[in-house]
Every structure is written in C-alpha cells, then in structure tokens.
Amino acid sequence: MRLPEDFTFSQSMLQDFTDCPRRFELRYLLDARWPAQETAQALLYEAGQQKGQEFHHLAHQHALGVPADVLTETIADDDLKIWWTRYLTWQAANLPAERFPELTLTVPLADSLLMAKYDVVAKLADGSFLIVDWKTGRPQKRLRLADRMQTLVYPVVLARGGDWLNDGQPIAPERIRLAYWFAETGETVDFELTAEKLRKDEARLTSLLQSIAASTEFAKTENERHCCFCPYRSLCERGELPGNLDELDEEDGPDGLSLDLDEIEEISF
Ligand code: SF4
C-alpha cells in the first residue's frame, strides 16, 4: 500500500509501527474504527485521561501568561492539586518565563515528513534548549524511555527544524535536552543530545521511514503482550477481553496508558 503524498509521520505512528505493523496499518492507513475497551478498568482509565488533559490545559494556560494563583483557584481534584503544586515548584526552578507551549514542528526526512508536537520548548539563559514532556501516568524507567520513538523524534526534529527559535541559526545538538517530567513524583528523566547521537538517531529514523514507505504488508506483532491493551484485539483474533491495569508491567503498555496527551490527541478515535 502506498502512503498518501501528504502523509506526515509522528512519534506515535512510528511507535505503533515498531510495536505492531498491523496496528499502524489499521490505525493510520485504513483508518479502521474498532471501538473496544483498552483496559478492564475503563472508568479508572478514563478518569486518569481526563485528569491528564486538565493538567496539560493548566500548564498551557500558565505558559500563555495566566497567573498561577488564578489557575490554582480552578482546581477541584485532589490529585490534580498535588500535581499542580509539584509543577509550579519545578517550572519555577527550571523554566524561563518565556516558553513555547504546544509547539508543533515538521521537518522533511527520507522523502517523508516527520512531525513533533511538544508540550513545551524553552530557550534557557545559557542559550541551550529544553524540551519538556509532561507525563501524568505512572513514572517510567530511563531504559524504557530511551527506547521510545518519542525520545528519538523530539530532539531530532528540534535540531533540524528549530532554527527560527534560535535567531535563524541551526541549534547545535549539544544544546538540546529532552526532559520527561512526571507528575506523580515531580522528577524528570533527562536525555541529552550529541552530534553523534543525532547522526545515529536520524539514521535510524530514516531507515524506519523508508521501511514503512516500502512496506506492502503489515504483519501482526509476534509479541502478543502488545495486544492486551490494543483496541483491535477482537479484529485480530487476539482475545476479546481487555488487559488489566493492575497487571500492566512497563513493557506492555502503549504510551496511551501513560496518559500522554500528544498521543491521546493523535490517535483519538
Ligand atoms: S491486536 Fe495485536 S496484532 Fe492486532 S493490531 Fe493490536 S497489537 Fe497488532
């Protein structure tokens, strides 16, 4: 199947292809709607998603200049209040007042387009750039995050497409850092970019994009753990019942389960 001419890849799409080529095909090429419960605790999951979205909305408004105390007044949920307090402390110490929230950059790569939608990009006083991704799901280990497509895509796209944030000059890779901030702990897991890492990550992404563009068949994953929380389970005959959040281990879950707002928006049915 040929990709549409204006097809734009995102980190979620690449992650889906990496986890399961068939899911990529169903979701993005066939636009298959196959509503299914993604977890056994649908209400709990939905409530978590809702809170995650509210948190992102608060952080966005704050970055746009709405005073923190005005926003604090609007928060009723106890968990959200705790997250918000942690956020206020962390951002005051780590982010400049001027920051770019909900920034989307798209760059050409391997005859395709690659997009990154950032929660925040900030230029720090020393001239370096910090990408922040707010995570309101359970904290994830560095090893797992290091292997996620998001960790590759976000710095590469900023390095190749962030000139306009840097007075028209390319941003040197050594001046780019990605921080995943976890609302549950108020701590970050950071990834620095280097010229060597940029070269390797770009080569890996190029190879992946070329391989997707050349694909004519999209096989189901052999790792059935990916199926537990996938909405296409019954379509693929990989089980009717959704996975149980309590049994989720870090390896299993799609990022949607960590309530990543970018992904919720990108893959929302
Ligand atoms: S159910 Fe499994 S095989 Fe089917 S699309 Fe989802 S992850 Fe892939």
Domain boundaries, the chain: 8-267
**Does residue 93 have a pLDDT over 50?**
yes
For 1-10, 48-57, 151-160, which range has the lowest pLDDT when averaged over its residues? 1-10
Task: Compute the distance from residue 157 Cα to the ligand 1 centre, in Å.
Answer: 28
- For tokens 């809170």, what's the residue? 51
- Which residue bears the tokens 């990550």? 201
- Verify whether ligand 1 is closer than 6 Å to residue 230 (CB atom): yes
Q: Of the spans 28-37, 213-222, 238-247, which averages the highest pLDDT? A: 213-222
pTM: 0.88
The CB of 20 under 6 Å from ligand 1? The reply is yes
Q: Is the pLDDT of residue 269 over 90?
A: no
Given a cut of 90, whether residue 188 has pLDDT beyond it is yes
More confident residue, 245 or 59: 59
pLDDT of amino acid 234: 87
Site of tokens 């390896």? 251
What's the distance, CA 189 to chain centroid?
Answer: 14
Contact residues for 212 (Cβ-Cβ < 8 A; gap 6+)? 3, 9, 17, 24
Dump pLDDT digits (tens) for 11-66: 999 999 999 999 999 999 998 887 666 665 666 777 788 899 999 999 999 999 99
Expressed in angstroms and rounded, the spacing between residue 112 Cα and the centre of ligand 1 is 25
User: What's the pLDDT band for 98 if we cut at 50, 70, 90?
Assistant: confident
The class level of CATH for 8-267 reads alpha beta
Express each pLDDT in 71-81 by its tens digit.
999 999 999 99
Check if 27 has its Cβ closer than 6 Å to any atom of ligand 1.
Answer: no
233 lines ligand 1 (CB under 6 A): yes
Q: How far does residue 123's CA lie from ligand 1's centre (Å)?
A: 40
